[in-house]
């Protein structure tokens, strides 16, 4: 699928995109070896500092609701849609992702990935 179709159908701020067959490159545009095997789009998810992470994600999913048929069609054609959350933490932390949020993700055919990046003091990092 052409990334331009995805960008036109998803009412979010685009972060990065490429099309299958494009030459690979770094985020800064430096060339890498090879070509991309599949098309890809990454969008910015707005997170409010005035509400919890779960509440912000639920609001995001509700607002994205009109795009759910399009997202499900991508999955039906063999593609995927994913909400990828990077979590940077210095201490033990957590958040409850309630059933309403998980239900909204399921309704949209959206996978949920959580990538945790713990802070490690310099003395404990492996070289």
pLDDT digits (tens, 9 = 90+) for 42-61: 999 888 888 889 999 999 99
Does residue 97 share a domain with residue 35?
no
Does residue 113 share a domain with residue 67?
yes
Does residue 65 share a domain with residue 22?
no
Does residue 60 share a domain with residue 6?
no
Task: Give the chain's domain count.
Answer: 2
Higher-pLDDT residue of 68 and 1 is 68
pLDDT bracket for residue 121 (50, 70, 90)? low
pLDDT of residue 63: 92
Does residue 30 share a domain with residue 92?
no
Q: Which domain holds residue 1?
A: 1-44
pLDDT bracket for residue 90 (50, 70, 90)? confident
Asked if 63 and 106 count as a contact pair (C-beta separation under 8 A), the reply is no
What is the percent of the chain with per-residue pLDDT over 90, rounded to a whole number?
72
Does residue 26 share a domain with residue 11?
yes
Q: How much is the pTM?
A: 0.81
CA distances to 5, 35, 104, 106, 117 from 39, in Å: 11, 11, 24, 22, 27
Does residue 52 share a domain with residue 108?
yes
pLDDT higher than 60, residue 126: no
Name the average pLDDT for the chain. 90
Backbone angles phi, psi at 23, to 5 degrees: -70, 135
Does residue 110 share a domain with residue 50?
yes
């Amino acid at each position: 699928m052409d990334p331009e179709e995805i960008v036109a159908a998803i009412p979010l701020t685009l972060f990065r995109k490429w099309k299958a067959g494009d030459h690979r490159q770094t985020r800064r545009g430096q060339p890498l070896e090879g070509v991309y095997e599949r098309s890809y789009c990454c969008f910015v998810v707005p997170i409010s500092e005035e509400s919890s992470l779960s509440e912000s994600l639920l609001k995001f999913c509700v607002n994205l609701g009109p795009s759910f048929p399009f997202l499900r069609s991508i999955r039906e054609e063999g593609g995927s849609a994913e909400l990828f959350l990077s979590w940077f933490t210095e201490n033990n932390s957590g958040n409850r992702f309630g059933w309403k949020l998980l239900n909204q993700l399921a309704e949209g055919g959206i996978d949920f990935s959580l990538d945790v990046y713990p802070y490690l003091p310099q003395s404990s990092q492996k070289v």
